[in-house]
Chains A and B, each alone.
Chain A
Amino acid sequence: MRPTAPSSRRSPLRLLLTAALAVTAPGALAACGSGSGSDPDTVEVSYKQSTDNQVRVMDTFLADVKKQFEKANPGKKVKLVPIKAPDSEYYTKVQQMLRSPKTAPDLVYEDTFLINSDITSGYLKPLDDYLADWKDWDQFIDTAKTAAKAEDGKTYGIPDGTDTRGLWFDKAIFEKAGLPSDWQPKSWADLLTAARTIKAKVPDVIPLNVYTGKPAGEAATMQGFEMLLYGTEGATAAGATDPLYDEKSKKWKAGTQGFKDALAFVETVYKEKLGPEVSDALDPNISTRVRGELLPEGKLGINLDGSWLPQDWLPGSGHEWPEWSEKLGLAHMPTQNGQSPGKVSMSGGWTWAIPDKAGNPDLAFEFIETMQSKANAQKWYIANSGIAVRKDVAADPAYVEAQPGIKFFTDLVSSTHYRPAYPAYPKVSTAIQEAMESVTTGDASVAEAAKNYDEELKAATDDQVIEGTEE
């Protein structure tokens, strides 16, 4: 192109920019306006779809509730919006959806692990006004009611069940190792002794699985580390507070002895090769492998894991294993030295919440009422191997007998602990996973890993940390 005079060579560009800005600015401003584009007669329900195509427990359940709801409310529609992703990516996707009224659903499935964090961000609506008129709320057990209660005292989510954690062990391997079929360790030392016995007598199996490191995510923190930490001397002493968070000063605890003891346990498991190969333990697919391969194929002696495992072995799951209840035994996780109360369990669970930017919150709550009625809740607990949070269901013999193991795990509810699910918890959890990973790989000693945790903790909580206070 032949160059023209400089003045006119620059001006088209300037003109263009001006014109373009004039066109784009109103668009940008309009995007900030509110006004959800949702239809007032449709409830949009976002939930987590399993990444395993064979497992469609939730889809089936919600489709059933949708049918009931549309029949009972003529003219109203339910739109199911499945989000297919692993846990950590599901959280991210939902958070991005909740940021705008255009994409926010009317009802969202929220993990209790993250709900406080999302409440702080202003993503969710308080439900107290609805709960005041909902008779069934009295049927929920108290601990479940507080699962989604924020620091402002309001409730933001309706729990759809809870879970507990314990030890699953393979009876056939135990027999080969000469261990009893009604095994119940009294302390961490007992547990390690059993693992060492298996390693010596049954060489081709993994003696003990404890989830660890960042690839396993929250499973490492909760099924692994916290099951140890909440059973340490400091955490179980009379008048002890939460080992991670100090309620009084509203600060996170750095470097407690219990924290180091729990790390030392993890280090022992991997140093003595009592666990899976380190590379397998740090493979993101480890939890899928434990449930789908190692346990059913009899390659794992003891597994520290959650109450929900059987949902993967039920009819229609794609890897049915009906005989699991004969092959596997259950034991509760002991405290560090067998001190009172003797048992440790952690509980989490998921809740149904209504986004702050939802278009039809009233209709969404009506959907929750249908979904969490006694009959539907019971159906759901049984289908996903959940622990009941409704008193009337927990007392129903049909529920207790629906699945082997339900009674064992429901009984653990009395001695269970909840995570300090404050807004900073997800970041604290990542810091714990990093500490676990470094002692697992041998990159750091327990003392170094605990020191790094203290530093990470300060960064994760804006310096809301108190130095080692040992009860």
Chain B
Amino acid sequence: MKRQASGPPHPAFRAFTRALPLTPASVLLLLFLAGPIAYCAYIAFTDLQLTGQAEDSFIGFDNFRTAFGDEAFLNAVWLTLVFTVVSALLGQNTLGLALAALMQRASKPVRTLVGGIVVTAWVLPEVVAGFLLYAFFRREGTLNAVLDWLQLPTQNWLYTLPILAVSFANVWRGTAFSMLVYSAALNEIPKEITEAAEVDGAGGWRRMWHITLPMIRRSIGTNLMLITLQTLSVFGLIWVMTRGGPGGRSQTLPLFMYEEAFQKSMIGYGTAVALLLLVVGSLFSVIYLRLLRTEV
């Protein structure tokens, strides 16, 4: 189109020229992100199988109905909640905060050493961490050797308490992230405020409860959101340690999804479960966003 010599350019033309630089990135996003997601959403409503089927067909909400009537699925949802609450909300979050708070008071060499150890656990590849912890929890493993040496009764952890063993593994592996977030947040608190509270005679716990926690509320929310979403999708760690067993006692949703889609070849059903996992994640996110919105 031809621009007039006077007056502002036509809004449509301006919009077009502004959008032009964004086009390549948007095309890539649509092609590699939105496309597969839309395709996944479609597959969830079909009975597509990887093998053993000549034709797949559209079956509406059948997969979802099957899921809610499937005991194994409900068991997986329950275990996912247990795993997330125990390992992320209680474990990583509290331990990360405690470590960050303690490290503030520690001397520099101690800080460096502890930080280094915790971060090492975090940067290890998931599968490597899984094998390490498998070796730690096995019946002939390190933990039982230590208990034995202390004259305490040993346990076959991966068999009797598999969900707790994998939760502990996830705490071990993921605490560093929370620790880093909280270290940064604690450093932001102005010294004057804590000093003023100290002068007013507030003890350590009261300072924590009335000063520190409210001041880092936003970081807590952000951290909870991030680690919850990370934990919901943990697959490799559990797969290496227990494969969801024994008898499905550590089968969280990602493992259940993998089993249905790839081991039982029910791609359609597995994808539907994946969408439901997305819903679980969204619910958590909504709760955290609500918590973040309220002002103190």
Known: A5-B11, A438-B247. A20 touches B51 (CB 8 A): no
List the B side residues contacting A438 at CB < 8 Å: 247
Given contacts A20-B23, A88-B263, A427-B264, contact A120 B245 (CB under 8 A): no
Question: CB-CB < 8 A to B111: which residues of A?
Answer: none
Instruction: Let me know if A443 and B247 touch, CB within 8 A.
Output: yes
Given A24-B27, A279-B156, check contact A424 B52 (CB 8 Å): yes
Given contacts A11-B12, A92-B262, contact A122 B54 (CB under 8 A): yes
Contact B15 A8 (CB under 8 A): yes
| Nearest B residue (CB) for A425 | B52
Chain A's nearest CB lies how many Å from the CB of B206?
Answer: 45
Instruction: Say whether B30 faces chain A, with CB atoms less than 8 Å apart.
Output: yes
Tell me the smallest distance from the CB of A294 to a CB of chain B, in Å: 13
Whether a CB of chain A sits under 8 angstroms from the CB of B158 is yes
Q: Which one, B19, B50, B245, B265, contacts A12 given CB within 8 A?
A: B19
- Does B205 sit at the interface, judged by CB under 8 A? no
Assembled-state Cα–Cα distance A337/B26 (Å):
71
Residues of A within 8 A of B158 (CB): 279
Taking the complex as formed, is B4 at the interface, i.e. its CB lies under 8 A from any CB of chain A? no
Contact residues of A between 236 and 281, Cβ < 8 Å to B: 277-280
The chain A residue sitting closest to B30, CB to CB, is A20
Q: Does A215 contact B (CB under 8 A)?
A: yes
Whether B53 lies near A441 (C-beta < 8 A) is no
CA distance A15 to B13 in the complex (A): 11
Number of interface residues of B (CB under 8 A): 32
Assembled-state Cα–Cα distance A23/B24 (Å):
10
Taking each of B12, B22, B50, B263, which has the highest tally of chain A beta carbons within 10 Å of its own beta carbon? B50
Q: Mark A429-469, 1 if CB is under 8 A from B, else 0.
A: 01000000110010100000000000000000000000000
Given A12-B18, A282-B246, are A123 and B11 neighbors across the interface (CB < 8 Å)? Answer: no
Other-chain residue from B12, B35, B54 in contact with A24 (beta carbon distance below 8 A): B35
The answer on a CB contact under 8 Å between B51 and A277 is no
In chain A, positions 342-361 with a C-beta closer than 8 Å to chain B are none
Q: Which residue of B lies closest to A437 (CB)?
A: B247
B173 interface residue, CB < 8 Å from A? no
Residues of B close to A430: CB separation below 8 A? 263-264
Give CA–CA (A8, B53) in the complex, Å: 49
The answer to whether B243 touches A284, judged by C-beta atoms less than 8 angstroms apart, is: yes
Report yes or no: B19 in contact with A15, Cβ–Cβ below 8 A.
yes
- Taking a contact as CB atoms under 8 Å apart, the answer to whether A95 and B265 are in contact is yes
Residues on A with C-beta less than 8 A from B53 are 120-121, 423
Closest to B70 in A: A459
Give the CA-CA distance A428 to B53 in the complex, in Å: 15
Distance to closest chain A CB from B133 (angstroms)? 15
Which positions 1-24 of chain B face chain A at CB distance < 8 Å?
11-12, 14-16, 18-19, 22-23
Return the contact of A117 from the options B30, B52, B139, B246 (Cβ within 8 A): B52
Whether A437 touches B30, Cβ cut-off 8 Å, given contacts A24-B35, A117-B51, A121-B54, is no
- The A-contacting residues of B in range 190-234, CB under 8 angstroms, are none
Known: A96-B50, A121-B54. A20 touches B26 (CB 8 A): yes
Residues of B within 8 Å of A203, CB to CB, are none
B17 to chain A, nearest CB (A): 9
Task: Say yes or no: is A298 at the interface (Cβ < 8 Å to chain B).
Answer: no
Contact of B52 among A16, A92, A423 (CB under 8 A): A423
Q: Is the CB of A12 within 8 A of B15?
A: yes
Q: Which residues of A contact B12 (CB under 8 A)?
A: 8, 11
Whether, in the assembled complex, B168 has its beta carbon less than 8 Å from a beta carbon of chain A, the answer is: no
**A63 located at the interface, meaning its Cβ lies under 8 Å from any Cβ of chain B in the complex:** no
B122 touches A (CB below 8 Å): no
Decide if A215 touches B245 in the complex (CB within 8 Å): yes
**Residue A21 CB within 8 A of the other chain:** yes
Using Cβ atoms and an 8 Å threshold, which residues of chain A touch B52? Answer: 116-118, 120-121, 423-424, 426-427
Is A171 engaged at the interface, CB distance under 8 Å to the other chain?
Answer: no
Interface check A19, CB cutoff 8 A: yes
Q: Give complex CA distance A171, B159 in Å.
A: 32
Are A19 and B265 within 8 A (Cβ)?
Answer: no
Task: Kindly provide the distance from the CB of A21 to the nearest chain B CB, expressed in whole angstroms.
Answer: 7
B150: interface (CB < 8 Å): no
- A121/B51 in contact, CB under 8 A: yes
Question: How would residues 239 to 259 of chain B score, 1 for a CB under 8 Å from any chain A CB and 0 otherwise?
Answer: 000010111000000000000
Answer whether residue B117 sits at the interface, using C-beta atoms and an 8 A cutoff.
Answer: no
CA distance A24 to B243 in the complex (A): 39
B296 interfacial by beta-carbon distance below 8 Å: no
Chain A residues whose CB sits within 8 angstroms of the CB of B54 once the complex forms: 120-122
Contact with B along A414-429 (1 / 0, CB 8 A): 0000000001101100
- B31 located at the interface, meaning its Cβ lies under 8 Å from any Cβ of chain A in the complex: yes
A213 near B264 with CB under 8 A, answer no
CB contacts under 8 Å to B, within A180-219, are: 213-215
The answer to whether A19 and B27 touch across the interface, beta carbons within 8 angstroms, is: yes
Question: What is the CA–CA distance of A323 and B216 in the complex, to the nearest angstrom?
Answer: 68
Which residues between 249 and 296 of chain B lie within 8 Å of chain A, taking CB atoms? Answer: 262-265
Task: Please report the C-alpha to C-alpha distance between residue A458 and residue B51 in the assembled complex, in whole angstroms.
Answer: 18
Of the candidates A15, A116, A427, A443, the one whose C-beta lies within 8 Å of that of B16 is: A15
From B12, B52, B243, B263, residue with most partner A Cβ within 10 Å? B52
Contacts A277-B139, A278-B246, A437-B246; is A427 near B22 (CB within 8 Å)?
Answer: no
Which of B11, B23, B51 contacts A19 (CB under 8 A)? B23
Q: Min CB distance, A122 to chain B, in Å?
A: 6
A222 to chain B, nearest CB (A): 16
With both beta carbons as reference points, the residue of chain B lying nearest to A442 in the complex is identified as B247
Give per-residue flags for B41-54: 1 if the beta carbon is below 8 A from chain A beta carbons, else 0.
00000000111111
Assembly CA distance A13 to B16 (angstroms): 9
Closest chain B residue to A93 by CB distance? B262
A211 shortest CB reach to chain B, Å: 14
Partner of B31, one of A27, A122, A277, A284: A27
**Assembled-state Cα–Cα distance A122/B54 (Å):** 6
A7–chain B nearest beta-carbon distance, Å: 6
A83: CB under 8 A from chain B? no
Residues of chain B lying within 8 A (CB to CB) of residue A118: 51-52
Most chain A CB within a 10 A radius of its CB, from B139, B156, B245:
B245
- Which of the listed residues A92, A116, A424 has the most CB atoms from chain B within 10 Å of its own CB? A92
Pair B265/A23 contact, Cβ less than 8 Å: no
> Distance in Å from the Cβ of B115 to the closest Cβ of chain A?
35
| Smallest CB-CB A-B distances: 7 pairs | A279-B159, A12-B19, A117-B52, A423-B52, A8-B11, A11-B15, A117-B51
Q: For the A-B complex with A12-B16, A20-B31, A95-B265 known, give 7 more contacts whose Cβ atoms are closer than 8 Å.
A: A15-B16, A19-B23, A118-B51, A121-B53, A215-B245, A282-B245, A427-B264
Interface positions of A (Cβ within 8 A of B): 5, 7-8, 11-13, 15-17, 19-21, 23-24, 27-28, 88-89, 91-92, 95-96, 114, 116-118, 120-123, 213-215, 277-280, 282, 284, 423-424, 426-427, 430, 437-438, 441, 443
